[in-house]
Structure 1
Amino acid sequence: MRLWSLDPAQLDRAALVSGWREGLLAQAVLLGRTKGYTRHPQLERFRELDEPATGVITWLAGLADEADRRGYRFDRTRLAGVADETLRMTVTDGQLALEYQHLLAKCDQRAPEWAARLRTEPARPHPVFEVVEGPVASWERAVLP
């Protein structure tokens, strides 16, 4: 499961689509609708919220907005509630940098033209996140080569 902290506009097609699918799984986990993935470390930051499901719904809405801009059709009826436009979470600059490098490595393999474009811009956070100084998150399991 990869719930990107990066701006959905920076995600290539595969990352955007898989992020949607994995975000829907995260929503099901946080609502107690599945027995799998209940201890997945990427869910920790949502569980810290007063309303964890609203957090992931808001995150998913950001992906759906980008899908709309690209002409994709993500089924918003699968969201189990309404996004909270005022919700803000934090992500460290260390975490954002790691995810940016992780995405670049993936795009080098599957979408080199996307990777080349991505290298021309700085990492930006998903609209739900505000960047603060700090190291890679304790829940992160990705290891870069």
Structure 2
Amino acid sequence: MRLWSMHPRYFDRQALTACWREGLLAQSVLTKPGGGYSHHPQLRRFQHTENSRAAMGDYLSAIVDEADARGYRFSRDKIRVTGSREQLHVNDGQLAYEWQHLLAKLQRRSPDTWIRWHELHRPDPHPAFIVVGGPIAEWEKVPSHSAGQQIDE
């Protein structure tokens, strides 16, 4: 499961549709905890909010907004609840790690999208997030040499 921290405008078709599907799965897990994905590390930042289901709904709403802008048909009706009162935090190191991860995927499977974004130094966060200083998130599974990575200013 990959719930990206950067704005969905940077996604290729595959990343956008995968993020939508995985977000819907996460929404289900947050609605009925105890299943196989209940302890998935990517869910922690949503689970630590006052209303995890609304936080996930807000996350999914931005994915649908991007799909709408591209003329795709994602069913907004599948979002169960929105209106979280808090924004999620993402460390700048986490955002940098995810950005490099996405760029590597784009270079392999969507060269046109990669060309559009590869020179961008610092992507905008997903609208549900605000960027704070810090390293790659402790829940992220990365090689040990990447653990302290942050975005260069």
TM range (shorter): over 0.9
Structure 1 match to 2:89: 90
Q: How far is the alpha carbon of 1:87 from its aligned partner?
A: 3.4
C-alpha separation in 1, matches of 2:38 and 2:141: 16
The gaps in structure 2 that reach 5 residues or longer are 147-153
CA shift digits 1:53-95 (9 cap, x unpaired): 11111000000000000000100111112x2275311101000
Whether 1:43 aligns to 2:43 is yes
- Normalising by structure 2, we get a TM-score of 0.88
Question: Are the equivalent residues in 1 in contact too, given 2:30–2:52 (CA < 8 A)?
Answer: yes
Structure 1 match to 2:11: 11
**What does 1:94-133 correspond to in 2, within 5 Å?**
94-121=93-120, 122-133=122-133
Structure 2 match to 1:28: 28
Give the RMSD, CA atoms, in angstroms: 1.8
Structure 2 match to 1:137: 137
Structure 1 match to 2:67: 67
**Following superposition, which runs of at least 4 residues in structure 1 exceed 6 angstroms of deviation?**
none
Partner secondary structure for residue 97 of structure 2:
helix
C-alpha separation in 2, matches of 1:120 and 1:64: 26
Question: Are the equivalent residues in 1 in contact too, given 2:125–2:131 (CA < 8 A)?
Answer: yes
The gaps in structure 1 that reach 5 residues or longer are none
Identical aligned pairs, as a percentage?
Answer: 46
Q: How far is the alpha carbon of 1:34 from its aligned partner?
A: 7.1
Which AA in structure 2 matches 1:17? Answer: T
C-alpha separation in 2, matches of 1:33 and 1:18: 22
Question: Are the equivalent residues in 2 in contact too, given 1:28–1:34 (CA < 8 A)?
Answer: no
- Normalising by structure 1, we get a TM-score of 0.93
